[in-house]
Amino acid sequence: MDIKKKRRSKINRNEYIDLFPIDFEDIVEKGDKNLLTKIAISIYDFYIENIIGFTPTKESFTNLFLSYTRTYRKEDEINYYYFIKYALELHYKMHNHRRYFSEKEEHAFREYIFAKTERRKEIIYNKFLYYPLTKLVENIINTYKLRLEKMSYEDQHVATMAYVHEKINKFKPTLEKKAYSYFGTIIKRYLINERKKEAKTIKLEDSFDALRSHLIDDVQYSYIERLEEENINNDFFNELLTIMEYYINDPLKVDFLSDKDITVGQGILQIMKDWENIFDGENSITITNRFQKKYVFNVLRNYTGMSTPEISCSLKVFKGAYKTWKADYINSIYNPFDNFN
């Protein structure tokens, strides 16, 4: 005599679903005890046949089933099928806690998209979707090693969840795609892009560090000024950022600048804004501040994506403008009669 081998715990089978009639929600809503009892007995027989270690009596199981039915509130659940299935699995310790994204969550996403009220969406999200989404984000970050270096794990997780919230309504259940695959894909792509952005930022910062740590003694790239000249240079430099920003954005000047000139100008502005990362920060006249051209070009190449010849061509435009700006600035503050005082 052949004995059917019993399954251990998974009951997500088509034959299990078939135990519930199509109009099951109406039966529950009407509270038809006779029909509900018949359904409970069918489910009990299914468990006895297929689940190892399932030993309660038919009477106790039926009473439990009917008690759950009385506590069922349609507006707070996906539907009765998932409600009773989950409740019974938990009670008889058949639920797989490691499986955080199952058919119930897939159905919950569809219910969320088609929900007609914000209250309904909020109930479904908080009760059925929040945990699987947070777990999915956590697993993708750890599995694919997508941790950011310059952001804490908690902040990265929060930022990723915020991105998911922006994309959740773009999920299309009508395309018959799995929510698990959809959200897994967009989360992974988002995290990879964030890693790329961070890598570019780190590379730019490393370029500035190289500028500071590889100074040379070539007089061509250095200067030693008297104290008065040093002060003038410092004051002019503080004004230069404003002068350049106005020059690049001036409608009367922009026609004389190519797109490449403007891009290089924006790169120069970026270097100027991070000047403290380039200079050593000391103003003593005994200190010689020296640059290495190749590192300046390296920064500009990273920022603009342009070649060295292209950058050099655009720099000539700003070199000529710089001489004019400095001459005008000195003339505006220098009094030739000061030496006679």
pLDDT (tens place) for every residue of the chain, 341 residues total: 344 444 544 555 678 888 999 898 999 999 999 999 999 999 999 999 888 889 999 999 999 999 999 999 999 999 999 999 999 999 998 888 888 998 999 999 999 999 999 999 999 999 999 999 999 999 999 999 999 998 999 999 999 999 999 999 999 988 878 999 999 999 999 999 999 999 888 887 766 655 555 444 444 444 444 445 556 666 777 777 777 777 777 666 555 677 788 888 888 877 777 756 654 444 433 333 444 566 677 777 777 778 777 777 777 777 777 777 777 777 776 554 554 44
Q: What is the pLDDT of residue 223?
A: 44
Q: How many domains does the chain have?
A: 3
Q: What is the pLDDT of residue 292?
A: 54
- Confirm whether 340 is domain-assigned: no
Instruction: Retrieve residue 330's tokens.
Output: 């000195």
- Confirm whether 57 is domain-assigned: yes
Q: Among 233, 228, 220, 241, which residue's Cα sits nearest to residue 290?
A: 220
> Within this chain, do residues 207 and 221 fall inside the same structural domain, yes or no?
no
What are the DSSP E strand ranges found in the chain? 222-223, 289-290
- Confirm whether 202 is domain-assigned: yes
Q: Is the pTM of this model over 0.85?
A: no
Q: Are 274 and 241 in contact (CB under 8 A)?
A: no
Task: Give the position of tokens 């309904």.
Answer: 120
Per-residue b/e over 201-232, b at no fewer than 16 CB within 10 Å? eeebeebbeebeeebeeeeeeeeeeeeeebeb
Q: What is the pLDDT of residue 279?
A: 47
> Within this chain, do residues 29 and 79 fall inside the same structural domain, yes or no?
yes
Distance, CA of 265 to CA of 318 (rounded, Å): 8
Residues 6+ apart with CB under 8 A from 224: 285, 288
Domain end residue (candidates: 54, 78, 95): 95
> Within this chain, do residues 227 and 313 fall inside the same structural domain, yes or no?
yes
Write out the H or E segment, with its range, that includes residue 298: helix 293-304
- Confirm whether 1 is domain-assigned: no
Domain end residue (candidates: 95, 125, 141): 95
- Confirm whether 173 is domain-assigned: yes
Q: What is the pLDDT of residue 5?
A: 45
Instruction: Retrieve residue 235's tokens.
Output: 């004051």
Q: What is the DSSP pairing of strand 222-223 with strand 289-290?
A: antiparallel
> Within this chain, do residues 327 and 230 fall inside the same structural domain, yes or no?
yes
- Confirm whether 59 is domain-assigned: yes
> Within this chain, do residues 237 and 205 fall inside the same structural domain, yes or no?
no
> Within this chain, do residues 88 and 107 fall inside the same structural domain, yes or no?
no
- Structural Rg of the chain based on CA atoms: 35
Per-residue b/e over 23-39, b at no fewer than 16 CB within 10 Å? ebeebbeeeeeebbeeb
Q: What is the pLDDT of residue 341?
A: 44
Question: Other C-beta atoms within 10 Å of 145: how many?
Answer: 8
How does DSSP classify residue 117? S
Sign of CA dihedral 317, 323, 325, 326: positive
- Confirm whether 281 is domain-assigned: yes
Q: What is the pLDDT of residue 282?
A: 43
- Confirm whether 2 is domain-assigned: no
Q: What is the pLDDT of residue 334?
A: 58
Instruction: Retrieve residue 95's tokens.
Output: 């639920």
> Within this chain, do residues 158 and 109 fall inside the same structural domain, yes or no?
yes
Q: What is the pLDDT of residue 310?
A: 78
Q: CA separation (Å) from 223 to 226, 271, 287?
A: 10, 19, 10
Q: What is the pLDDT of residue 314?
A: 77
Q: What is the pLDDT of residue 329?
A: 73
> Within this chain, do residues 165 and 119 fall inside the same structural domain, yes or no?
yes
Q: What is the pLDDT of residue 271?
A: 76
Domain with 27, as residue range(s), is 7-95
